[in-house]
Structure 1
Amino acid sequence: MYIKGIEVRGSILDDETRCSHYHSDKDRIAIRFYCCGIYYPCYQCHEEHGCAETKVWPKTQFGEKGILCGSCKQELTIAEYLNCHSVCPECGAEFNPGCNLHKHLYFDV
């Protein structure tokens, strides 16, 4: 699937990047994986469809764009996402606060 010209891979269910693994109303982000540079809705989608060499974003790269808001389609930096308190800083759409439980799978925190 392409969103504003950005490819998002995985078991995607809709244009807000919900996937077969995470599909609540608040599941509306995709993460650009550091290892391959491709956006996926979640770590499970990356495991199923990705590069098989998962690497987390190092802290020195937190200024890079690595999150796609499925609501407004804006790319956020990793720092913006980690500090946004589960609300998109661009459009105010709520993100799933439960994603904080998985941030160590994506970022060096």
Structure 2
Amino acid sequence: MERAAGGTRPAVHGRGVDAEGRCTHYGGTRDVVGNLCVTCGKYWACHRCHAEACDHPFGRAPLDAPAVVCGVCGHLMNYPEYSATAACPACGHGFNPGCSLHAHLYFRL
């Protein structure tokens, strides 16, 4: 898809989030994506971070929405683009294949 407007990368929220979007719950080298909660409009490192900080359920995104941000380069992706590869199509950084187990929490599948 593209980078956020103005070339800025969306902030990834969560507990103990580092510069590439890893949180205290998921800190592996490939845990570098933020997922958009359509309810609050923020990108979160993981569903657990969101649950700890918010008083609403995680708002799952439509499949065509730019709902995933690469924490390494800031590239925005929709679900088909994100799920089609094991790495960011813009910078090539690998993504955690285990994230697919949580897709139903983040997207309207």
TM-score of Structure 1 vs Structure 2, range by shorter chain: 0.7 to 0.9
Superposed, 1:66-77 pairs within 5 Å as: 66-77=67-78
Corresponding position of 2:47:
43
TM-score by length of 2: 0.83
List gaps (5 residues or longer) in structure 1: none
Q: Percent identity?
A: 35
Q: How many residues align?
A: 102
CA distances 1:5-49 after superposition (whole Å, capped 9, x unpaired): 523221133110000000001100000112221100000011011
| Larger RCO (CA within 8 A; separation ≥ 6) | 2
Structure 2 CA distance for aligned equivalents of residues 8 and 49 of structure 1: 13
Structure 2 CA distance for aligned equivalents of residues 37 and 51 of structure 1: 14
Corresponding position of 1:101:
101
- Over the aligned positions, Cα root-mean-square deviation in angstroms equals 1.5
